[in-house]
Chains A and B, each alone.
Chain A
Amino acid sequence: AQSVTQLDSQVPVFEEAPVELRCNYSSSVSVYLFWYVQYPNQGLQLLLKYLSGSTLVKGINGFEAEFNKSQTSFHLRKPSVHISDTAEYFCAVSGNREKLTFGTGTRLTIIP
């Protein structure tokens, strides 16, 4: 079984400042890791995914994440945020390549 922990339920950040959204997972098997974003009144959209290979993964809208197996983490980062990044961010894990197990989400609020 897999589980995902997103410790920060809300993260306020000033515009153009960097941000890191934390994600830790647990799994008894090899994992595939994902970050999804949910903009207000929209469906979930994939930001990026780690399947294998390089531990630094780049996604859309300037986001990137680093897979750290020893710390069982997959933190999401962006060097400079914009107002349009205001959204709910979900980390998810798949251990068998099929169903996703999601964290509880982090609400990112950008302060002008």
Chain B
Amino acid sequence: GAGVSQTPSNKVTEKGKYVELRCDPISGHTALYWYRQSLGQGPEFLIYFQGTGAADDSGLPNDRFFAVRPEGSVSTLKIQRTERGDSAVYLCASSPGQGPYEQYFGPGTRLTVT
């Protein structure tokens, strides 16, 4: 079956602009995660959804970042007033549910803020 997909694969935007990054999880997976990976670093947790609700958003760096998952499947990460420091690869992962399940990662969206 299809894995986790993310669109776009690359996004270049100007400082101050608004961007949306999309994640399509594996069908039937109730848990969805967003991570951010800066150059030379490991992925850092941003937010976790169980179904439609954000169960843990403790990793969002500030109020410019927001994520939704209105129907419990596709999720969108939204970044307002982008800054050059937001440049990174944004990773999405999904898993079958609560518990120590494997998280399946998508290929990521490379965001570059100029």
Contacts and interface: CB of A to CB of B under 8 A. Distances in A.
A70 B31 CA distance: 32
A20 to B, nearest CB: 19
Interface residues of B, number: 26
Contacts of A94: 100
A99 B43 contact: no
B12 interface: no
A99 B45 contact: yes
20 contacts: A32-B100, A36-B105, A42-B107, A43-B3, A43-B107, A43-B108, A44-B43, A44-B105, A46-B103, A90-B43, A97-B98, A98-B98, A99-B56, A99-B59, A100-B35, A100-B43, A102-B35, A102-B43, A103-B42, A104-B40
Interface of B: 3-4, 31, 33, 35, 40-45, 48, 55-56, 59, 91, 93, 98-100, 102-103, 105-108
User: Which 3 pairs show the lowest CB-CB distances between chains A and B?
Assistant: A102-B42, A44-B105, A99-B45
